[in-house]
Every structure is written in structure tokens, then in C-alpha cells.
Chain A
């Protein structure tokens, strides 16, 4: 009698013990996902460029300065080219300016400036003060060309390959580390080809 009544009860804990581990497993899984996002994951607020892999936008930009040309799609190709979106009112642009200058001078990469949503006199005064590293500067007072390029923050820097296609874009001021890790390896690879 006692054996018969105990049998189903003894079976129960044996069948369900792993259920107790389930919360721990789920928690560990979540922990792994969060840790990955925190340590190695990308910043979710950065919007990947829709232009990657596409030819540069067809918009033609007039010159900012009388002695330096603007640029259009026909001015790309032949080698790696950077497009740097800047404005005189943009503080991070000022921060990254020495690095843009170093890229142009020390690495010999043509950098096209895209002066967006700026006043012409303010932009020229800004370049007079900080130096002008740009090969060409396009003037985009109402930001229309910026929208064609998918610009949503200042500064933004695009890397264009010798075929005239957008290869990489960074939103925000360039840092020395970013230069080392993202821009220079890509530029070197293009030059090696």
C-alpha cells in the first residue's frame, strides 16, 4: 500500500528537476547577448550608410571658394578619395580638422570638402583660421546635396574607392584610433590593388 502511493510522488521531482535550471539558462543567454553588445557590439545610434557599395550621388556641387573647384560624380575615380562633410558652426568638425589635414598632407589622399548648411563667408573664414586641407570644396548652403549623400550628422566622412563607389562612412569626428583601424587599412588595400 505504501509503495503504491509513493511511486508517482517519487517520480515527479525526477521528471522536473531541469525546469529549475531553465531560468538560470535563460539568464545566462541574456547575459551573453548583453555582454556581446556592450563589449564588441556596434553603437546602435549610428545609422549605417545606405550608399555603401553604390556609386557616389550624381549631385553637382558648386565651388565654395573662387580659387578652388566644387565637385560632382565625374571628379571621382582613379584612386581613393575622402569626402568630408563640414560646417563652420560644427564644433566636432573643428576637433577633427587636424586629422583631416594630416590625412591629406601626410598620406596624400585627396579630401573633398562638402560644406553644408553654412554661410559662405563664415566657411571661408573658418578655413582661413584653421587651414584648408581640401582638394575640392563643394558648397551646399541648404543641405540638399547633404541629403543626396545621406548626411544626418556633422561631421561625416566617406571613403570612395577608385571605381567611384562609396566604401565606408563614419558619422562623427575622426579619431586617431579610427584612422588606424578603419580608414588607413582600407586605403592601403585600395592602393595595393
Chain B
């Protein structure tokens, strides 16, 4: 093994080690973490659903903002004081409104948010149904001619007939020319 090969091997080993050692970025700082792992797990779970009001599309668990850190600490303080998960969320909602929750509550003002996607799917399903029923109804009105010509309307049948007639006549012409040449 040459020196170069050894060097490359060593570099590859170092890179692999670095990848193993890397952990996903986390905003929670070591001094915030609670000693009780069960409480800490609940704090993390709550934090993932609390919006950082400064960055607005990050949870306080992801955000490095100052306010997010303050809120993380408050979440942990409430848990240590014996609050349930719902009580901790209630505490924050009382101060910052429903907006602080990343999962909006089911209410009159948010009903569209929750039901909207299903309404659109239902609308699409109805549209598809109406479309296909319209097609079969149209097929039915054309009567027996439809069934005997495998789903083609009379007009389509006529066009195909004329196209086929054209094709066969031009084919005969071609043969004739070939024969001449």
C-alpha cells in the first residue's frame, strides 16, 4: 500500500466517523433540558406543537429565536409545577391566542381548514361521477347503433368508414404505382 492509498483510507475513515457523530440540529440548549427524562419528553412533545411567534412557521422546538427559548423554558417550568400537557398549552393560548398552536383547534372559524380538503375531494368525486354518467347517458341515447359499433357514435363510425375507404383506395394506388415501377 502506498502512502497515498493510506492517506485516502484515513480520510475516508474520518469522514465516516464525522457522519456517525453528527446529530440533527436541535434548538433546545443543554441548560434547558430537564433532569427527569419523562418530563423532558413531554416538554419536547408540547414544544413541537407551539409556534414560534417571531419566525411563525417554526415550532419553538426548532427555533433559535430568543422568545422560543423563553417559551421552551416556560413549558418546562409549567410541567415541573405539575401541569398537564393540555394545561401548558392553555397557559400559552391564554397569552398568545390559538395562533400559538401549530395544530389549529376545531372551531367555527377553522372548520374550513379541517373540512376543506374533504369537501374538495367530494366535489371531485361528484364531478367524475357526473362526467361518466353523462357519457353513458349519451351512449344510451344513440341506441343500438352504439352497441354494435363498440362505443363509437354514428358520426364517428361514418368518419372511420370514410377514412378506411380513403386509406384502402390510396393503398391500391400505391400498389399500382409500385407495380409500374
Whether A and B are associated in the same complex: the answer reads: yes
- A186 within 8 Å of B (CB atoms): no
Q: Does B114 contact A (CB under 8 A)?
A: no
Contact check: which of A45, A51, A147 meets B74 at CB < 8 Å?
A147
Contact B97 A49 (CB under 8 A): yes
The count of A-to-B residue pairs whose CB atoms sit within 8 angstroms is 50
Q: Which residue of chain B has the shortest Cβ distance to A45 in the bound complex?
A: B56
Say whether chain A's binding surface is mostly helix, strand, loop, or mixed.
Answer: loop
Q: Of B66, B70, B97, B138, which is within 8 A of A8 by CB?
A: B138
Cβ contacts under 8 Å, A57 to chain B: 95
Q: Are B153 and A48 in contact, CB atoms less than 8 angstroms apart?
A: no
Could you mark each residue 77-107 of chain B with 1 if its beta carbon is under 8 Å from any beta carbon of chain A, else 0?
0000000000000000111111100000000
Chain A nearest CB from B166 CB (Å) reads: 21
Q: Which of A74-82, A90-98, A128-136, A148-156 contacts B (4 or more CB under 8 A)?
A: A148-156
> How many angstroms from the CA of A156 to the CA of B97 in the assembled complex?
16
- The smallest C-beta distance from A115 to any residue of chain B, in angstroms, reads 16
User: Once the chains are docked, how many angstroms separate the CA of A51 from the CA of B93?
Assistant: 10
A24 to chain B: which residues have CB within 8 Å? none
Interface pair A152/B53, CB less than 8 Å apart: yes
- A171 smallest CB distance to B (angstroms): 10
Instruction: Give the interface residue-count category, chain B.
Output: 20 to 34
Indicate the size class of the contact surface on chain A.
20 to 34
Q: Is B67 an interface residue (CB 8 A)?
A: yes
> Contact check: which of A5, A11, A150, A153 meets B154 at CB < 8 Å?
A5
Chain A CB within 8 A of B10 CB:
no
Chain B residues in the interface with A (C-beta under 8 A): 53-54, 56, 66-67, 70-71, 74, 93-99, 138, 141-142, 145, 153-155, 158
Whether B99 pairs with A8 at a CB distance below 8 angstroms is no
Tell me if A5 and B54 are in contact (CB < 8 A).
Answer: no
B95 and A51 contacting across the interface, CB-CB below 8 Å: yes
Q: Please determine whether A9 and B155 come into contact, CB atoms closer than 8 angstroms.
A: yes
Tell whether, in the assembled complex, residue A12 and residue B97 are in contact, meaning their CB atoms are under 8 Å apart: no
Judge whether A47 and B95 touch: CB under 8 Å.
Answer: no
B67: A residues at CB distance < 8 A: 143, 152
Q: Identify the 8 closest CB pairs spanning chains A and B, nearest first.
A: A50-B97, A152-B53, A5-B154, A150-B95, A8-B141, A47-B99, A150-B96, A8-B142
> Is A119 positioned at the interface, with any CB of B under 8 Å from its CB?
no
Task: Give Cα distance in the complex from A5 to B143, angstroms.
Answer: 10
